[in-house]
Amino acid sequence: MSQHFLQSAAAKTLSLAQVFRMSDADTETMFRKIRWPETNGAPVCPHCGGSNGYECRRPNGSLRFRCRACVKDFTVTSGTLFASHKLPLRGYLAAIAIFCNEVKGKNALALSRDLGISYKAAFVLLHKLREAMAEEMKGRVVGGEGKTAEVDGGYFGGYRKPANFVENRVDRRLARHQTGKRKIVVIVRERSGNSVPAVFKSEAQAMSFIRARVAKGTVVNADEATSWDGLHGHFEMKRINHEQAYSMDGACTNWAEEFFSRIRRAEIGHHHHIAGVYLLRYAQEATWREDNRRMSNGDQVARLTGLALSRKPSVDFAGYWQRHLAS
């Protein structure tokens, strides 16, 4: 019997045990090589771009550099998503390893228990990792001539708990009994390729997004929902009626369904609530996990660390709790 990829040795190249066995020097070298790949880890000043920095550690021993050109100090995380970091570097590496190993998602409370950090610190750190993942999807266009893509939508949020007594219960399917908070995640997914998610109030609102993110000449698969009818003028379409079959004459949305399977499990099993302002971030996380699912966990950690270290400080989350507690 052939072995599943995730069970193979090739899938498991970095364990949490290895991360914790790494010395401070090992961790520093790893971060330096990921931050400054073009100089093989030699520091490049984020203030002036000079490559004439030297090690000038803080009194507590933590790694810091000083630029000979502009005489400013910087660290391996200055000017990145992990700027002004509070945890030791190994803590970030451990967080990223835990986050990648937990293939459906990781919630902030569990991470705070794993790493002995506050819930707030874990919440912000996880959202920064989602921001880093989203970086890869900026402006991404999928498909092309001879390629096939799938489009589908799934609803999240707006749950209304049924009343205790049956006589007080209402028909939750009716618009007037809904909270108005329900949103739809739309995924466009190239078969054997990459994906892009977006969040809308309804499937019909997704038309211009799909046209912008799916290249001309792509064969687009969708289910029978009338909201996708508008795509026929732009793409060669294959429609599948799920009341008849999940796959017929080459038409199916199974790749898109895989994405929803993963994000649903993240919602139900890990986060319990992913709707609201950060729904897109959770969708981007599930997309990244889907698209990189056949990559070894060591490569995933290196890739995500690289994304975090090449991204500017977080717009949403730098000083998040300071702002939120003040208001």
Q: Is 144 a binder of Zn ion (CB under 5 A)?
A: no
Q: Which is nearer to Zn ion, 50 or 158 (CB)?
A: 50
Q: Which is nearer to Zn ion, 32 or 262 (CB)?
A: 32
Which structure tokens are listed for 71? 């005489």
- Contacting range for Zn ion; rule: CB under 5 A; set: 47-55, 215-223, 268-276, 305-313: 47-55
Are residues 142 and 189 in contact, defined by beta-carbon separation less than 8 angstroms?
yes
- Residue 157: helix, strand or coil by DSSP? coil
Which phi and psi angles does 168 have, rounded to 5°?
-95, -5
Residue 258 has a CB neighbour count (10 Å cut-off) of: 17
Name the strands in the sheet holding 148-156, side by side, starting at the edge strand that comes first in the sequence: 195-200, 183-190, 148-156, 219-223, 236-240
- Contacting range for Zn ion; rule: CB under 5 A; set: 61-69, 200-208, 299-307, 310-318: 61-69
**Coarse DSSP helix, strand, coil percentages of the chain, rounded to the nearest 5 percent:** 45, 15, 45
Torsion angle of alpha carbons 140, 145, 147, 150, nearest 10°? 60
Q: Which is nearer to Zn ion, 66 or 182 (CB)?
A: 66
Say how far apart CA 280 and CA 287 lie, in whole Å: 10
Q: How far is the CB of 44 from Zn ion (least distance, A)?
A: 9
Angle between helices 119-135 and 108-115 (to 10 degrees): 110
Residue at 291: amino acid letter: D
Torsion angle of alpha carbons 130, 133, 134, 135, nearest 10°? 130
Q: Is 70 a binder of Zn ion (CB under 5 A)?
A: yes
- Contacting range for Zn ion; rule: CB under 5 A; set: 5-13, 35-43, 70-78, 293-301: 70-78
Which residue among 22, 48, 87, 215 contacts Zn ion (CB under 5 A)? 48
- Contacting range for Zn ion; rule: CB under 5 A; set: 48-56, 101-109, 253-261, 291-299: 48-56
Q: Which is nearer to Zn ion, 83 or 225 (CB)?
A: 83
Q: Is 41 a binder of Zn ion (CB under 5 A)?
A: no
Q: How far is the CB of 279 from Zn ion (least distance, A)?
A: 40
Q: How far is the CB of 46 from Zn ion (least distance, A)?
A: 8
Q: What is the H or E stretch that residue 190 is in?
A: strand 183-190
- Contacting range for Zn ion; rule: CB under 5 A; set: 2-10, 59-67, 150-158, 174-182: 59-67
Say how far apart CA 36 and CA 325 lie, in whole Å: 36
Q: Is 69 a binder of Zn ion (CB under 5 A)?
A: yes
Q: Is 265 a binder of Zn ion (CB under 5 A)?
A: no
Which residue among 19, 30, 34, 67 contacts Zn ion (CB under 5 A)? 67
Q: Is 65 a binder of Zn ion (CB under 5 A)?
A: no
Which residue has tokens 């199974």? Answer: 254
Q: Is 163 a binder of Zn ion (CB under 5 A)?
A: no
Are residues 151 and 220 in contact, defined by beta-carbon separation less than 8 angstroms?
yes
- Residue 251: helix, strand or coil by DSSP? strand
Q: Is 50 a binder of Zn ion (CB under 5 A)?
A: yes
Residue list 166-225, contact with Zn ion (CB under 5 A): none
Q: Is 43 a binder of Zn ion (CB under 5 A)?
A: no
How many residues interact with Zn ion (rule CB under 5 A)?
7
Distances 279 to 62, 138, 327 between C-alpha atoms, Å: 36, 16, 23
Q: Which is nearer to Zn ion, 67 or 108 (CB)?
A: 67
Q: How far is the CB of 312 from Zn ion (least distance, A)?
A: 17
Binding site for Zn ion (CB under 5 A): 45, 47-48, 50, 67, 69-70
